[in-house]
Each structure stands twice: as structure tokens, then as C-alpha cells.
Structure 1
């Protein structure tokens, strides 16, 4: 089962992705989470400390790995075909909730040489994981719509678009849905986050309907989660939070839809 989680920055997509990943892992499913955001913080949601998260070397910044996979004997020429099977075992980081985490990172190169090898390695790795591997895979995508233009969300089973009731969030969600459909993603659904009542449910449901998308979950606004976030406490495995239990219910629906066959 391969899940991509997208949405405007700040809508809670990392909370949704991380809680889903921890939930699947707690049920005995081998789970790989990919932080494909250019501002990665999925590690914190998965229970790592800031110090542990800062020690993770993103794939796009691992020059020795990039050279090993792409370098040739000819300056300016790099390999575009290579195996990446070993990257998961050698580069994935174990997290407290049992999820294996890969951080893609961003290529921080401006006028400092060709960034193509790093981009190609990330793209190849994403394709390998999405197309070939059999585990539960959850990608926390870059905020906005740029990732769809690059094709990094292709070949997933479902794209979950996280949104709240803010107009900017709804507009971005609609754009993502409209771009994802012609990209061939088989299933697209909204996850309504920070829902405060029937009025906000209706707003998100109407917006989703206008783009031909269903709302798969309504995650309630939870003040306790905001407080936990300010205190730096991970909540993805805490059943006492109503928002967490709703995401766990979403995980059950996804299991039924994609793993029960």
C-alpha cells in the first residue's frame, strides 16, 4: 500500500502522515515513511528528538552516496541507471514508533555545479519504493503542488489531500486534486483537518465535491495537540487525543480498502 499525503503548508499533513505511519507500524505492518518535504520535520512526529532529527543526513545531501550511484570517469557525465535496493537498508533510520524513515531533503545548489545527479538519485529512489517494494509506504510530500509537476507522487495507490477551512488551504487542495487526476493516480481523497463542527465539515465537503473528490476523514480540532506541539511532545501514538483516534480510524479504512483483498 502506497500513500502520498499532500496539502498546503501548515494544514497538518505531517501530523496526518506521521500518525498513519505509526498506526500501521503498531499493527505489525512493515512501514517506511518518506519525508519528501523541503522543510523536513516528519522525524519529530515519529517520536525522534530534535537532536536525533538533526543528525539525519538527507539523501539529496549525501554526496558520497550520490557519487557512488551516479559518478562516472567522465567529468560532467553521470549514470542515470543504477540499483537503489541497498539504500533502504543502509540509509533508513529507525524511529521510536517502529517506522523506518528516509529523508529525501532538498538540493541546495545554486551556481555550485550540476544538481542533476542528486535530483536523479532522489527520483529513482522514489520510483523504486513506490513501484517495486511491498511494504506500507507513506510519503509526506512537499507543500503545495510542485511535486505533482515533477511526478514524485506517481504510482501511489491513493493521494490524501489534507485541508482545513481556510480559503488558501481549500484552493491549494483543489489545485492538487485537479493536477493529480490526469497524472493517473487511481484514488484521490480529502482529509479534513482541524474540524470544529458541522459548519466546517460542510465547507470542506462542498469544496471537495466541486473537484470530484470524497472526504475520507474528518479530523477534529484538538487543543491538546496544539499544546503538545508547543511543548515538543510527539502525539502520534497517544490514543487519548481525539484527532489521533480519528486518524487511526482512517488507517483502518485504508487497510480495508487496499490490504484486505
Structure 2
């Protein structure tokens, strides 16, 4: 995949979104070359926040200054506050709240986007926020 992407010619307004494996290993393999921003999906836990901080530092080291966050599997205000309290200002794009419908959709091999209108609206709000930046 990396080899194929290295031959891709992008124009100024083109957008490529890559869903990379969890963790930071890919930052050392050249896959971040030409990247404008990272979006780190975090859950309300310390290890997830540590990954965000590591991506932020490594991104800065390779010239990627923008690192955004999507809070995932949010259950309550305490989860929101935990994530907010551990991010730099402006990094948060939004939250996707925990939903049993989303869990069940995976088990039935259906898209959560089609099953849960709340999730769809949350994702749309995140997309809109990203476009504003």
C-alpha cells in the first residue's frame, strides 16, 4: 500500500484519508510523508491520551504540526471532561458516544452509519468542524 501511495499525485484540493493501524509505529515508516494533519481517535483512558501525546510529539518532529482528536466511546460528561482536560486547546474535533447499536451493527456486519442516526450526526459534526479548520 505504501508503495502505491508514493506514486499518487495529488492536486491542491485533493483529500486522502488513511485509516492506519492503532499505535505510532507507522510514523517511522515514511507513511506520514506529505501529511497535513493526523486525527487520533482516543478513548477516555490514560493509555489513549498517552498515544495522542506521542503522536503530537512525533508529528512535530517530522513536520506535521496539526494533530486533531476524536473522542470515541464516550459514555458521560466525566468521559468528555477527561479527554478535554488532557488535550491542547483546539485539538478536539468532537465526540462519538458509546452506543450498543454500533456494537450490534458490527456483529451483524452492517454499517453503524446506517443503523444509528445519532452516530451519523456526531460524525457529520466532526466532519464539519474539520472542514472549518
TM-score range, shorter chain: 0.7 to 0.9
CA contact (8 A) 2:73 2:99 kept: yes
1:137 CA drift (Å): 1.0
Distance 1:254 1:221 in 2: 21
What TM-score, normalized to structure 1?
Answer: 0.46
The residue aligned with 1:179 is: 58
The structure 2 residue matched to 1:230, chosen from 107, 120, 130, is 107
SS at match of 1:137: coil
| 1:166 and 2:42 correspond | no
Pairing 1:157–2:33 present: no
* Structure 1 position 190, deviation (Å): 0.9
- For 2:58 and 2:124, the matched residues in 1 are separated by 28
Q: Distance in 2 between matches of 1:154 and 1:213?
A: 23
- The structure-2 alpha-carbon separation of the partners of 1:151 and 1:206, relative to structure 1 and needing over 3 Å to count, comes to farther
C-alpha separation in 1, matches of 2:95 and 2:127: 13
Q: Is the 8 A contact 1:164 1:192 kept in 2?
A: yes
Contact 1:190 1:213 (C-alpha < 8 Å) held by counterparts: no
Instruction: After TM superposition, give the deviation of residue 233 of structure 1 in Å.
Output: 0.9
- What is the SS of the residue equivalent to 2:85? helix
Q: 1:35-80 CA distances to partner (integer Å, 9 max, x unpaired)?
A: xxxxxxxxxxxxxxxxxxxxxxxxxxxxxxxxxxxxxxxxxxxxxx
The answer (yes or no) to whether the contact 1:154–1:185 under 8 Å persists in 2 is: no
Cα 1:239–1:185 shift into 2, 3 Å: farther
- Counterparts of 1:48-59 in structure 2, within 5 Å, are none
- DSSP-derived class of the 1:138 partner: coil
Question: In structure 1, how many angstroms separate the alpha carbons of the residues matched to 2:52 and 2:83?
Answer: 10
Alpha-carbon distance, 1:178 to partner? 1.5
Give the Cα separation in 2 of the matches to 1:230 and 1:239. Answer: 12
1:148 & 1:213 partners in 2: Cα distance?
22
Please list every run of 5 or more consecutive structure 2 residues that lacks an aligned counterpart in the other structure: none
Tell me the matched-pair count.
131
User: In 2, Cα distance between the equivalents of 1:239 and 1:228?
Assistant: 7
Residue 128 (structure 2) pairs with residue 249 (structure 1): no
1:219 to 96, 102, 107: 96
Flag as ranges the 4+ runs of structure 1 deviating above 6 A: none
* Counterparts in 2 of 1:179 and 1:213: CA distance versus 1, 3 Å: farther
SS at match of 2:87: helix
State the Cα RMSD in Å: 2.0
Give SS of 1:161's match.
strand
